[in-house]
Structure 1
Amino acid sequence: MHATAIVLGDRCVLVAGLSGSGKTALALALVEKFRAAGRFARLVSDDQVFLSVHHGRLLCHAPAVIAGLAEVRGVGPVPVEHEAAAAVDLLVRLVPASEVERLPGQDSELILGCMTQRLLLAEREIAAAIPTILVRLGITLFA
């Protein structure tokens, strides 16, 4: 799948979107926000993610050739700490702003036979996306 996957605490977020939509920038910003709050966060895979199903859960891992690399726009691939695999809790689809509802209800998407919670967010709007993702995951960084 053309996506970026990250682990935030004990949750995994799969960020999908077209090339240039901000998948990597959003993922790295979320990882940095978690780490700044003293919480565990790591990349699983950037830009391409292999998906499989195990015991009814959607799993993701990086293709071997890009494991541990994140592409920083204007710099290229850079090494980053990463997790080998994770079970997906939330799919974030980055779409044009005109496709995002202001007050969407709960949404899900079937991937490889697994119903996965889904959130449509405007592409390249990182600052607005972060709190929405945290709320959807039920995560509070500063309590």
Structure 2
Amino acid sequence: MSGLHQFTAVSVKGRGLLIEGAPGSGKSSLALALIDRGAMLVGDDGVSLAALNGRLLAGPAPATEGLLEVRNVGLVPMPYVDSAAIALVIALDPEAPRFIEAAEERDVLGLRLPLVRLWPGNAVLALRAELALERYGIG
């Protein structure tokens, strides 16, 4: 895969979820909560991205493959998948709108992907991310 990017990614029931946000916004914490709910880690705070056959594929960065940063604990080994086709981009954004009618779009490596902004710091953030994936994710 080509191109290392500062995202966190997980695979939820075989569908890739790319999480973006400012440093300290909760990307790794959301990934941990999703993993607790059955998701698999793809990569944390750095993923390899490649466009292939009209899909965006994410894979782990070699330096942090299989590791998730758990705040106040450290780097923790996690089961992971080698790649996932991204179905949705989640942006952790304290200015996220309360309601949306449709997903926004994000251009990543020339591919247009649905994007949903979620307000970080909520006990049900992982559930909201899963619902957004079900409702707005592709494939």
Within 5 Å, which residues of 2 pair with 1:80-119? Answer: 80-96=78-94, 99-106=95-102, 107-119=104-116
Distance across 1 between alignment mates of 2:83 and 2:70 = 21
Could you list the runs of 5+ residues in structure 2 that have no partner in the other structure? none
Aligned partner of 2:134 in structure 1 is 138
Aligned partner of 2:41 in structure 1 is 43
Q: Indicate which of 18, 25, 31 corresponds to 1:27.
A: 31
| Percent of residue pairs bearing the same amino acid type | 35
Deviation of 1:16 (Å): 0.8
Could you list the runs of 5+ residues in structure 1 that have no partner in the other structure? 35-40
Equivalent residue pairs, number: 130
Aligned partner of 2:20 in structure 1 is 16
Q: TM-score, normalised by structure 1?
A: 0.85
Q: Indicate which of 65, 76, 87 corresponds to 2:63.
A: 65
Contact 2:17 2:133 in 1 (8 A): no
Over the aligned positions, Cα root-mean-square deviation in angstroms equals 1.4
Q: TM-score, normalised by structure 2?
A: 0.87
Distance across 2 between alignment mates of 1:28 and 1:21 = 13
* Greater share of residues in helix: 1
